[in-house]
Amino acid sequence: MIGDGVEAFYLGRLTVSEGKFNDALKLSPRNIVANEYLNRIKALRQHPTDQADLEKDEKVWKIYLNALEHYRIGEYEQAIELWQEVLKYYPGNEQTLNNITQARLRLQSKE
């Protein structure tokens, strides 16, 4: 349960992650990891990031742009992997989450 919550968190799926951590707290109300991640989710929702935040972070911005290039040439899986890396630094970033969704939709349409 905790592992699923952590994975969802780093994929930017905050609602899923929150549900997993809340389930974990029902079984173990003092679970430190679940409480810590729930606090992080709350903070992210109070202070969401946007593209300007990414642009200010040179390292992350390079990753983001690299992902865009992969997306443009149809390498959707590589783009998703790179955008997931961006989410490790800026979980919940709406533009990055939207890009991942679009890339997944393109992947599905290729199948």
Give domain limits for the chain: 2-46, 51-110
Q: What is the mean pLDDT of residues 47-56?
A: 88
Report how far residue 111's alpha carbon sits from residue 107's, in angstroms, rounded to the nearest whole number. 7
- The answer to whether the CB of 12 falls within 8 A of the CB of 93 is yes
Q: What is the mean pLDDT of residues 13-36?
A: 92
Confidence (pLDDT) at 4: 93
- Percentage of the chain lying above the pLDDT 70 cut: 99
- Report, in this order, helix, strand and coil percent for the chain, each rounded to 5: 80, 0, 20
